[in-house]
Structure 1
Amino acid sequence: MTLLTSSPGTWTKTLGSLLLALALAGPAVAAEETVEQEIDEVVVEEAPPVLPLDELRLFAEVFERIKTAYVEPVDDAQLLEDAIRGMIAGLDPHSAYLEPEAYEDLQEHTSGEFGGLGLEVGLQDGFVRVIAPIDDTPAQKGGIKAGDLIVKLDDTPVQGLSLNEAVALMRGKPGEPIVLTIVREGVEKPFEVKLIRDVIRVASVRHRVLEDGFGYLRVSQFQVNTGKDLVEAIEDLQDKGPLRGLVLDLRNNPGGVLQAAVEVSDAFLDDGLIVYTEGRLANAALRYSASARTAAPEVPLVVMINAGSASASEIVAGALQDHKRGLILGTDSFGKGSVQTILPLTADRAVKLTTARYFTPSGRSIQAQGIVPDIRVEEAEVRNLENGDRLKESDLTGHLVNGQNNGESNGVKADDKLVERDFQLFEALNLLKALVILKPESKQG
């Protein structure tokens, strides 16, 4: 696109003429009445909508006022870019105009490596709201929590900044410090947190054995390879011994790639709808179904969510909940039920546009509502009461020996401190054990 660079008045007249021409270039054919002979019914065809002339004239007028009256000269191209940015920002909190740096950052983010603090953020009432801190990043290690409002970055107030501008301030060279001023629910006054910027490398899937037969899967965000990585993690857990149950941790997972959410759901489902989307574009109406192949068939499953679980996390939790494949434990999720599509404009610019709403298999939209857990467990701090060393049978002199085992275990020892370190995970493991106890034994034929 070639921009005109003549004087402001000339440019604005040209812009006004161009906008007027576009408006008048609307449908030149008036609505016609046509008669359907077979049913003897008059059908009136509606004329396609014309461009809003008054608003276009207003745009041209504002453009000219800025060019002629603003305290400093303003570049034509910059004004138009600002207009595009504002037009898209006014749609919803998730649509955005991606300039070269933001476009590159998005590509790095979905691939799993980018620079910054490790925060997934959005705008709320002019402030930056933390959707979720990413695992093992400066933000997570510094104690930033989902729901925190960032009101100042170093000495710069956040209110009035666009989301892209705020994110740009948070980015920087690894090793450089930044001070975030935080407002947190339940805390009386704003407080400061000093973080050191770092290169963020996100391993989207981590796993470990909690106790003998009970595996833990942590998905921190949904990247291109998350589905494959999750299946490999399950296989590694199975190699360590028979799996009796799994905990899938989606807490503080801000979402990511839609296809990855489908693949993670498919790893636990062998049939049925996973998610479907509806939008105005023909290709926005999509349906995703499970394949017959599963990574962990019939293994009892507990899925953990909280207010930081958004978008793709909610797709997985909603699908598993609707199919009764797993019990959902935790607190209500974030409630982002829309799908964003990256629409490239040039080689280095794109529009991230909300193009569809997604629905769980039963037809639920979680937009602005979230997934409600089956078992509500709030985050809490718990400490064990010291009961002292109580006398047991084995402490009595001359006690009878059990005779069946020597009291030793070859498996993974239970984590006695789990209840203090992560109460929600402790409760998830207890629930999983109950599901295993109640699960009927499969009969061998």
Structure 2
Amino acid sequence: MASSLCSQAQAAVVSPCPPDWEAQICELKSVVEVLKKEHLTEIDMSAFLDETIRLGVRTLPYANFRNAQEQQEQIKKDQRTRNGTPGIGIIFDTLPDGLHIVDVVPDGPAAQAGIRTGDTVVAMNGNSLIGVDNVEISKYANGEVGAPLKITLLRGVSKQRLELTLVRAIIKLRPAVAKIIDGNVLYTRLANFPEPTIGDYINVIQVERKKRLPIKAVILDLRLNGGGALNAAIGITALFTGRNKTAMVTLQRDDKTQHRITTNWPDYELPVMQDQDPLASLQADDWWRSVPLIVLIDGQSASAAEATAAALKDLGRAKLLGTPSYGKGMAQTGVGIRDDTYLVWTNARNFRPNGCPMEGYGVIPDWIVPPRKDADIEGILLNHREVDIPRPAFADIASPDPFANVRKERQRLRDQRDLSNLDKTGSVPLPQKEFTSNKDWQLKQALNALAGKAVQTVSVNPRFMPPRPVCIKLDE
């Protein structure tokens, strides 16, 4: 008996793991060895392990793992994005029930086939898009010019089901548009923040300025803008504020070390600029830093878009109008690892120039104005935001789920509204194609503000508003 106990104790001490390995890595190794020998069929172990890593990494916020082939495809995709991408010409939000179309590129295959803003794509080439993330969607959507893509979509309240086959064409999106409205107000819009954003935005504005019309104010529309290159956001901030300003502060792993990002070159440098500061020639042109500026935001203004809005507000350069932004407030980075694979992970929290976080909170506008005069503001504020995404407990052992109670209360409010059978059409965001139309109530109120007229805001029950952030003191 004593001998048996001694043997068990010795067995417990011995470990097959190297001392710097997590025990679960050894468990995975043991599982692999059993499957290689005993599984009914021979397993493609490389693909199996890729998927094991991918599924684990995907549980972390905005993280993903790409094997060597996927990384090469991503590089090619990034190149195509700069030069034009084969596609059908839709701009969408990825939600649990499919791809919600928020805009259709004029003259693209989707527009020619009659696809509309508000349609929901639920399948591509027979592959369901319900509950699928963007990585999986790209596998189904990507294809060469001339290749057909069969899509299944639902339309309207009746969920009419339509099957369409489109032929991919080159889609080259320009993020910036500008036009004179209301006599002498320059309306500008950024649909997203790709690398060429700063140069494109300057170019479209300069075209309008060369018409020699007296521009008395600028409106920057960041509604439905899901973000993109963070440096592009810093550059747009620098364009309107000038040098030597703090555009953002990031906190990394220890939540103590602050990294200040300024409006000085090269803090907004991007590869597309080829080491040339696009703002250098504008430093003598005071118009950019003095023209009255209003920024429009909504619940889908995220990442680089809400960072731009927050910086312009905090630096006293612009007033914000619309509804609270999405609240992403995190930055990602990536690095190549073994065997040409690539890992993307969240490496920093983004703080506003006033020291307040954006993650889960978003940016609150100076004037809260719904997209339509008769819009259901409570329903709009309950639309999907960063705060609604649950985090696995292991993603942050120090603070497992800081927004758990907020998320629970938001779902309770949604359930309560569902039981009341409220008409949800009033909580639909203003479609991109209606921007600057007579239906654009937010734009109308921005014009009122610029003209010194009363802005028709709405009062909101605090239960529907984002939680109040805990701000930090910034280092001198």
TM-score range, shorter chain: 0.5 to 0.7
Distance of aligned partners of 1:233 and 1:363 in 2 relative to their CA distance in 1, 3 Å threshold: same
Among 13, 24, 41, which residue is 2:18 paired with? 24
Instruction: Choose which of 428, 433, 440 in structure 2 pairs with 1:422.
Output: 440
Contact 2:251 2:258 in 1 (8 A): yes
Q: Which residue of 1 aligns with 2:229?
A: 257
Equivalent of 1:298 in 262, 275, 290 = 290
Looking at structure 2, the residues matched to 24 and 153 of structure 1 have their Cα atoms a distance apart, in angstroms, of 46
Compared CA separation, residues 169 and 319, structure 1 to 2 (3 A): same
Q: Aligned residues: percent identity?
A: 25
The residue that corresponds to 1:390 in the other structure is none
Match of 2:28 in 1: 59
CA distance in 1, matches of 2:308, 2:54: 32
Task: Name which of 423, 427, 434 aligns with 2:452.
Answer: 434
The code of the aligned residue for 2:180 comes to: V
Closer, same or farther in 2 for the Cα pair 1:129/1:339, shift >3 Å?
farther
**Alpha-carbon deviations, 1:96-115, whole Å to 9, x = none?**
43623542255237636323
TM-score normalised to structure 2 length: 0.63
Residue-pair matches, total: 352
Answering whether residue 260 of structure 2 is matched by residue 287 of structure 1, we say yes
* Structure 1 segment 215-254 matched on structure 2, within 5 A: 215-240=186-211, 241-254=213-226
Cα separation, partners in 2 of 1:72 and 1:281, compared to 1, 3 Å: farther
Q: 1:169 to 1:363 in 2, by over 3 A?
A: same
CA separation of 1:348 and 1:209: change in aligned 2, threshold 3 A: farther
**C-alpha displacement of 1:309:** 1.5
Q: Which amino acid aligns with 1:334?
A: Y
Bigger mean CA offset, 252-261 vs 370-379: 370-379
- Residue segments in structure 2 that go unaligned for 5+ positions in a row: 1-14, 265-281, 375-434, 455-476
The 1-side partners of 2:95 and 2:228 are apart by 20
Distance in 2 (alpha carbons) for counterparts of 1:285 and 1:117: 43
Q: Structure 1 residues 58, 118: closer, same or farther in 2, change over 3 A? A: farther
Letter in 2 for 1:311: S
CA gap of 1:111–1:70, structure 2 versus 1, over 3 A, is farther
Residue equivalent to 1:73? 42
| 1:311–1:190 Cα change, 3 Å | farther
**TM-score (norm. length: structure 1):** 0.67
Residues 381 and 420, structure 1, Cα contact 8 Å, conserved in 2 = no
Larger fraction in helix: 2
Equivalents in 2 of 1:363, 1:93: separation in Å?
23
Distance 1:351 1:52, change over 3 A: closer
Q: Distance in 2 between matches of 1:100 and 1:307?
A: 31
Instruction: Quickly say closer, same or farther: Cα 1:297–1:263, change in 2 above 3 A.
Output: same
- Contact 1:110/1:256 (8 A) holds in 2: no
Mapped partners of 1:109, 1:352: distance in 2: 20
SS in 1 for 2:79: helix
Unmatched tracts of structure 1, length 5 or more: 1-19, 27-50, 383-416, 437-445
Other-structure match for 2:347 = 355
Q: Deviations over 1:27-55 (max 9, x none)?
A: xxxxxxxxxxxxxxxxxxxxxxxx322x2
**Which residue in 2 is equivalent to 1:201?**
172
Give the partner amino acid of 2:170.
Answer: V
2: distance between equivalents of 1:82 and 1:380? 45
What amino acid sits opposite 1:57 in the alignment? C
Distance 2:47 2:120 in 1: 30
Q: 1:331 to 1:430 in 2, by over 3 A?
A: same
Bigger Cα Rg: 1
Distance 1:107 1:216, change over 3 A: same
CA distance in 2: counterparts of 1:371 and 1:109, whole angstroms? 33
| Structure 1 residues 370 and 143: alpha-carbon distance in aligned structure 2, compared to 1, 3 A threshold | farther
In structure 1, what is the Cα distance between the partners aligned to 2:352 and 2:101? 21
Superposition pairs for residues 366-377 of structure 1, below 5 Å?
Answer: 366-377=358-369
The residue type paired with residue 296 of structure 1 is: W
Measured on the aligned residues, the alpha-carbon RMSD in Å equals 3.7
* Aligned partner letter, 1:74: I
The Cα shift of 1:299 comes to: 0.9
Query: Alpha carbons of 1:317 and 1:201: their partners in 2 closer, same or farther (altered >3 Å)?
Result: same
CA distance in 2, matches of 1:193, 1:124: 20
Provide the rounded CA distance (Å) in 1 between the counterparts of 2:161 and 2:62: 26
Q: Deviations over 1:395-439 (max 9, x none)?
A: xxxxxxxxxxxxxxxxxxxxxx95535333333333322289xxx
The 2-side partners of 1:66 and 1:144 are apart by 48
Structure 2 residue 273 is the aligned partner of structure 1 residue 273 = no
Match of 1:108 in 2: 79
**Residue 317 of structure 2 corresponds to residue 310 of structure 1:** no
| CA drift at 1:73 | 2.3
Aligned pairs for 1:368-387 (under 5 A) are 368-380=360-372
Distance 1:112 1:286 in 2: 33
Residues 312 and 326 of structure 1: CA distance in aligned 2, closer, same or farther (over 3 Å): same
Q: C-alpha displacement at 1:155, in angstroms?
A: 3.0
Contact 2:313–2:320 (Cα < 8 Å) also in 1: yes
Q: Are the counterparts in 1 of residues 372 and 439 from structure 2 also a CA contact under 8 Å? A: no
Q: 2 CA distance for matches of 1:334 and 1:376?
A: 14
Q: Please give the secondary structure, in 1, of the residue aligned with 2:219.
A: strand
- Find the counterpart in structure 2 of residue 334 from structure 1: 326
1 CA distance for matches of 2:343 and 2:153? Answer: 30
Distance 2:160 2:325 in 1: 25
- How many angstroms does 1:312 deviate by? 0.5
Q: 1:147-201, CA deviations, whole angstroms, 9 ceiling, x for partnerless residues?
A: x8754335322346554222211223445243244599xx464755747343221
The residue correspondences of 1:1-12 to structure 2 (distance < 5 A) are none
- CA distance in 1 between counterparts of 2:316 and 2:303 reads 20
- 1:84 aligns with 53
Distance 1:106 1:434, change over 3 A: farther
Q: Which amino acid aligns with 1:312?
A: A
Distance (whole Å) between structure 2 residues aligned to residue 347 and residue 52 of structure 1: 22
CA contact (8 A) 1:183 1:190 kept: yes
Cα 1:124/1:70, change in 2 over 3 Å: farther
**2:100 & 2:297 partners in 1: Cα distance?**
16
Question: How much does 1:338 deviate?
Answer: 0.9
Q: Is the 8 A contact 2:54 2:64 kept in 1?
A: no
